[in-house]
Amino acid sequence: MHLVQLLLPVFRNDGSRQPQALFAAVRQELVDRFGGLTAYNRAPAEGLWSDNGGSVARDDIVVYEVMVEDPDRAWWAAYRTELGRRFGQEELVVRAQRVELL
């Protein structure tokens, strides 16, 4: 079993909020494809990283998670690219980790 997490930016690069319709569409797509979803969106997480200029950049993100038996890497790569286009990002983080259900 794998846990796949999508880290989606709350704000656009110009500082305006992403439209709620974008998040609703992603939620529905994931529920339709995988049968469920966990969303961490009440208190957005904070992402920090060093940019090319040496300063620290910051993003507020929401996290969507789905459980899958075996992640289809080609599908996830294409979906990540599509989400990057929709959210106006050069790159989005979509990560998977093996999990064991107890």
* CATH of region 2-98: 3.30.70.120
Domain boundaries, the chain: 2-98
Q: Indicate the pTM of the whole model.
A: 0.84
User: What residues does 17 pair with on adjacent strands?
Assistant: 11
pLDDT in tens, 20-75: 999 999 999 999 999 999 999 776 666 666 777 777 666 788 999 999 999 999 99
Helices (H), 1-102: 20-34, 73-87
Rounded CA-CA distance 33/16 in Å is 30
Rounded CA-CA distance 83/74 in Å is 14
Query: Is the CB of residue 11 less than 8 Å from the CB of residue 17?
Result: yes
